[in-house]
A and B are shown apart, each in its own frame.
Chain A
Amino acid sequence: MKIHEYQAKELLRSFGVPTPTGTVVDSAPAARAAFDSFGKGIAVVKAQVHAGGRGKGGGVKVVRSADECQSEAERILSHPLITPQTGPEGVPVRKLLIEQATGIAHEYYVAVVLDRAVQMPVLMASTEGGVEIEEVAAHNPSAIKKTHIFDGRGLLPFQARKIAFALGLTGTLVDEAVKTLTGLVRLYLERDCSLAEINPWVQTTDGHMIALDGKINFDDNALFRHKDLEAYRDTTEEDPSELRAQETGISFVKLDGNIGCLVNGAGLAMSTMDIIKFHGGDPANFLDVGGGANVDQVTTAFEIILADPAVKAVLVNIFGGIMKCDTIATAVMEAFKRVDFRVPLVVRLEGTNVELGRKMLVDSGLPIRTASDLTDAAQKAVLAAG
């Protein structure tokens, strides 16, 4: 689960990490009031959307007067925000974070993520803040300092000091950095995060360390023990069809092609996309109905796929293991009653009770094109999509 910057900063503050003074607003007059409440000075207006690259899309603006703050707030709230991560249609902005501007002496990067290779979380920090860590890794990997969270209790004091000194910090900045690093790791561990990132992490002109931006993602599998985090969920940020799939227990990712895919198992679903592409087609989605899908799930899956106007054909690829092929055949026939199939349907069944499943589809008299294997299925689907 992803959350907004203002929510991430709330959490960071509760773990002892300093952030700029700010107010969340949802209208231009409220933005103006927030500016005025800071007294004289400079403020930053920041669009609150989950997508990254907000600055590049004009979603972050420095303002020097109440008038400017109000007009920038008005501008950002009135148009969808287009960033390198949103796609050309952009995303609507409903909330703004108005923050007091910070005098920046230097920008750093710090984050906690899982290092799969060693099966431990790792704290990564860099002297090159404000840029994507991927870029730093590509052009200057030695700038990234790492320490693994090998102890069950979290980041040990010497590890925090090691990173602070490696970043070149001195004096009271080291103490402040140690406090932030320790708090960030505690947040990652105690709230089951999959990512806890501060970028940029700033050394201010008046000699303090402060989190200028924060990004926190949570492990969906652990949300059951953090019921309070549900309040942070913003479903308006999620793709409606992906959200519906999630609620039904289906794994779905929308893509740009025209061949809808309904598959059981993630690996086979990805492979089905691969073979469609290999035969000159373009998959419209990734869809894994899971191992024990029932009639309702399969029907919902068809509805989600067919709701995409770009879809010109649908390919069903099921390797029945535990899910029997006759169950899938029943689900397909039932879905035909409930869903308007406006495009050709190609079905490839293999596995448990395959003969029965195929016979049921043939006997149903429904306009279904059956395929004998993966290649045949992909070729038929590509042909049907034109």
Chain B
Amino acid sequence: MSILINKDSRVLCQGITGKAGAFHSSQCLAYGTKLVAGVTPGRGGTTFESKVPVFDTVQQAVDQTGADVSMIFVPPPFAADAILEAVEAGCRLVIAITEGIPVADMVHVARVLRSRPECRLVGPNCPGVITPDECKIGIMPGYIHKKGPIGVISRSGTLTYEAVWQLTNLGLGQSTCVGLGGDPIVGTSFIDSLRLFQDDPETEAILMMGEIGGDAEERAAEFVQAHVTKPVAAFIAGQTAPPGRRMGHAGAIISGSSGKASDKIAALRAAGITVADTPADMGKAVVQAIKSSK
């Protein structure tokens, strides 16, 4: 088992003929992902790497290949439109890798998604999602992962690789790794992912990596205390970053939180979560969290 994606996921790529889309589609195919379709308006009827059919619209791709997950590499000015096209075509999961989408566009996407509870968005501005040995959707290097019982959730890309690599070297494989994305508005939160991992019988422990700013980590801590029975470890990046800029404060005001690393760490610890002191100790924090739960 795993969350969100597995060996049966049928994936289409929007923007498959672009530079990034083509490169990463190849990498996903090489990993074993069932990439069944590509979409680039005007390029319908061609094939990608002489095996993946390319369509003009997502609806055609879904109807003709049974794809249920979309991976988006469309450039920022058109990415929100691409997300909505996937939602409207009935994809149950949309993973948006694109970085730099205007916030106003995502406010609109979020408004539409509130009326479509059957559809989940991950990202944008995220590394993607991987269920080791089964399905890789995104830009993460496949080989650092290993199949196993640890669920991984993060707002950042390379920091996730660092954590996954530490876990793999400690012999701890991963059930699924979810990159939430670093933008102000993302489709899937820590809480959404924690709920999925709590309900996944094969996930035995969870590692979450947060960052300064906002209050997502504080709310995740409350959720863990109330609803998660599995061991949870965490790391907060940016403990030494200089005090946030004005917008950080204004954003935090609304939630009544400071956005500071120290407050986030205190909230996580108060919820019984093992917090790594340094980014070199993320793997060890998981080992410790599992040990202390026994």
Contact = CB atoms under 8 A, between A and B. Distances in A.
A271 B159 contact: yes
Contacts of B171: none
Interface in B46-90: 76-77
A267 B77 contact: no
Contacts of B184: 114, 116
B107 A268 contact: no
B253 interface: yes
B146 to A, nearest CB: 15
B121 to A, nearest CB: 11
Contacts of B238: 270, 273-274
Contact of A375 (B103, B214, B249, B280): B280
Interface stretch (A21-29, A133-141, A176-184): A133-141
B241 interface: yes
Interface stretch (B36-44, B136-144, B224-232): B136-144
B104 A219 contact: yes
Interface residues of B, number: 61
Given A275-B279, A374-B279, A152 B241 contact: no
Contact of B254 (A113, A222, A276, A283): A113
Contacts of B288: none
Nearest to B111: A152
Nearest to A268: B158
Contact of B103 (A114, A255, A274): A114
A275 B254 CA distance: 31
Interface stretch (B4-12, B149-157, B197-205, B267-275): B149-157
A134 to B, nearest CB: 5
Instruction: Select the residue from B101, B107, B182 with max chain A CB neighbours within 10 A.
Output: B107
Contact of A322 (B101, B139, B182): B139
A200 B215 CA distance: 28
A265 B157 contact: yes
Contact of B280 (A222, A267, A320, A374): A374
A268 B141 contact: no
Contacts of B106: 119
A128 interface: no
Nearest to A277: B240
Contacts of B158: 263-265, 267-268, 319, 321
B293 interface: no
Contacts of A375: 278, 280
Contacts, number: 169
Nearest to A278: B278
A111 B256 contact: no
B108 interface: yes
Given A137-B253, A192-B104, A264-B158, A119 B185 contact: yes
A221 interface: yes
Contacts of B155: 267
Nearest to A282: B240
Interface in A119-148: 119-122, 124, 133-134, 137, 141, 144, 146
Contact of B157 (A124, A273, A278, A291): A291
B277 to A, nearest CB: 7
A224 interface: yes
Interface residues of A, number: 61
A2 B129 CA distance: 35
A374 B211 contact: no
Instruction: Select the residue from A114, A141, A255, A373 with max chain B CB neighbours within 10 A.
Output: A114
B251 A114 contact: yes
Contact of A268 (B105, B159, B239): B159
Contacts of A152: 108, 111
A41 interface: no
Interface in B97-145: 100-108, 110-111, 127, 139-141, 143-144
B262 interface: no
- Main SS of chain A's interface residues? mixed
Nearest to A52: B246
B45 interface: no
Contact of A266 (B111, B156, B185, B209): B156
A375 to B, nearest CB: 4
Contacts of A273: 238, 240-241
A264 B209 CA distance: 17
B107 A120 contact: yes
Contact of A267 (B105, B144, B209, B215): B209
Interface in A302-354: 319-322, 350-352
Nearest to B253: A137
Contacts of A120: 107, 110-111
Contacts of B160: 267
Nearest to A190: B104
Instruction: Select the residue from A117, A141, A352 with max chain B CB neighbours within 10 A.
Output: A117
Interface string A142-166: 0010100010100000000000000
18 contacts: A119-B111, A137-B253, A195-B246, A221-B101, A221-B102, A221-B103, A225-B102, A253-B242, A265-B157, A266-B211, A271-B237, A274-B239, A274-B278, A276-B240, A319-B158, A350-B162, A351-B161, A375-B280
Interface of B: 23-24, 76-77, 100-108, 110-111, 127, 139-141, 143-144, 154-162, 165, 182, 184-185, 209, 211-212, 214-216, 219, 235, 237-242, 246-247, 249-251, 253-256, 277-280
Given A134-B250, A319-B161, A374-B279, 18 more contacts: A52-B246, A114-B185, A115-B254, A116-B216, A117-B219, A134-B253, A146-B254, A224-B77, A265-B159, A267-B156, A270-B212, A273-B238, A275-B278, A278-B277, A291-B139, A319-B165, A321-B127, A352-B143
